[in-house]
Homo-oligomer: A and B are copies of this chain.
């Protein structure tokens, strides 16, 4: 007889536009094993979901003899309608409009699946395992600066879904009404001003205009530059690369100022690849934030209205968990949902009880 299953485990899926990451996780040991696959977007939604579910099944088969499954969690690109689990015109997944991701996964896996937008699982991880845990904060807002700009919001210990699961799309708040066109159909969104794509595009644009000789030499006519290439150039003193990061920090500051003014939370976390260049973003970001948010100016640590705030004042910080936030968040999502279902009160983060 099967006895003595040592502890619960979950399987988490970080569904990205480039890669799929699938991991088995336990609350005590963290990630036990993870699988990395390319996202075969050209093969269509069903093939991608097949790949995803095959990897999940491998981990289920491998770990369920010894552990007891507590659930499967998925972080998906948005916009994702909840609770339906259906995608609507996801800008980075052409051909997926109207796709019932949740139903397709549950059909293949013959088990319930917990699903959230990718920025929602990332903020859940920062809340339960990262900065939220460290600072003892139950309300926070996270921006993830990657291919696009994701956003997740936790209010009083609960993911803020809004009426249809589409809350937390601050990546598409307008920063510059005359700014570049965005995949969402608008222009000047935070996403086209502060994503990794935006940083790389700004560099390519300057090179094309013949105004950035250092970046042009770096590129050397070959592959497109990445946000990381531009960051490295900025750190080596390239003024055009520094300008690009300064403008990116400025756009972020404008967006964060709006979020601070609207929500007045104690913590704003900036994650995703671009946040790894926090040193380059920081000066212009805080300059805009101070000037454009009097709520921030009054509540930053040490200011007149900061006393008594959890965390000691309004904090704006780079993410603690780095690129694993999305995968970790997907892994803990089933545990969070089980907890949310069993209580109506404020949810303490997992591991903070």
Contact = CB atoms under 8 A, between A and B. Distances in A.
Most buried by B among A86, A164, A291: A164
A198 interface: no
Interface residues of A, number: 59
Contacts of A261: 166, 169-173
Most buried by B among A163, A177, A185, A291: A163
A293 B169 CA distance: 9
B173 A262 contact: yes
A172 B292 contact: yes
B79 A298 contact: yes
Interface string A73-95: 00000010100001011000000
Contacts of A264: 161-169
Q: How many protomers of this protein does the assembly include?
A: 2
A294 B161 CA distance: 15
Given A177-B254, A294-B79, A266 B163 contact: yes
A63 B298 CA distance: 40
B265 A172 contact: no
Nearest to A309: B163
Nearest to A266: B163
Interface string A134-172: 000001000000000001010100001111111111111
A257 interface: yes
A168 to B, nearest CB: 7
Interface in A274-303: 291-295, 297-299
B167 A292 contact: no
Contacts of A308: 164
Contacts of A306: 164
A22 interface: no
B177 A262 contact: no
17 contacts: A86-B305, A155-B155, A161-B264, A162-B295, A163-B309, A163-B314, A164-B299, A166-B298, A166-B305, A167-B264, A168-B262, A168-B264, A170-B261, A172-B293, A174-B175, A185-B294, A344-B344
Interface of A: 79, 81, 86, 88-89, 98, 139, 151, 153, 155, 160-177, 184-186, 189, 254, 257-259, 261-266, 291-295, 297-299, 304-306, 308-310, 314, 344-345
Given A169-B294, A262-B262, 10 more contacts: A139-B162, A153-B262, A164-B264, A164-B309, A166-B299, A168-B264, A169-B261, A172-B257, A174-B257, A189-B292
